[in-house]
Amino acid sequence: MNRESVVPRERFLLVTVSTADAPSATRVRVWRKLRSLGALYLQQSVCLLPDHEAVRRQVGRLLASVRADGGTARQLTIGITDPAEHAHLVAEFNAERDKEYGEVVERAPQLLAELEQETASGNVTYAEVEESEADLERFDKWLAKIAARDYFGAPGGPPARDAVERCRTALAAFEDAALAAQTGTTHPTGPAGTGTQPATAALRAVE
């Protein structure tokens, strides 16, 4: 027997939902929930999710609510025996997550640019620190949501996490500069002879 044929593979939940006889709010709730779980749509109203216990529980609760609202829903557990098809599905899941991670990588430099602009204009204040902290917190929450539905370790994950960490490093330097400005203490300049303030130096280092 081919050893590859008996290697256990990821099982999936095949989810079908019809909200034709349910309120419009139900349709929106279903769409939002399945998207938040990272469902891979095969066609309209039919999608796949990995058969993980936590996912199964959430899907079960969602489908029960659909039925209570007058809709129809079904959840089946299936196995993909063809290795190539299984790999193709995993690649599709990863492609969806990579799109999301790519948005993080695309938007993170905006925060770095804002910090550098405020530093260059001398507006290194606690108010700006708080504003940037809120932006960083949004990035953290966004990244956590993507990671929660990244079931197969999409390759876009590490670059996205690195992008957010660069923002965190730059913000820490900006906060140090704001503290120094508020307390009237001196703080080291950048590389010898450049006269660059710490926040600017850090921002340039992480770009």
Please compute the mean of the pLDDT values over residues 20-30 and round it to a whole number: 93
Q: What's the pLDDT tens digit per position in 56-91?
A: 999 999 999 999 999 999 999 999 999 999 999 999
**Binning pLDDT at 50, 70 and 90, where does residue 185 land?**
low
What global pTM score does this model have?
Answer: 0.83
Query: What are the pLDDT digits (tens) for 42-60?
Result: 999 999 999 999 999 999 9
Q: How far apart are CA 149 and CA 91, in angstroms?
A: 14
Judge contact between 177 and 197, C-beta under 8 A. yes
Which residues 6+ apart lie within 8 Å of 98 measured at CB? 154, 155, 156
Query: pLDDT tens digits, residue range 94-146?
Result: 999 999 999 999 999 999 999 999 999 889 999 999 999 999 999 999 999 99
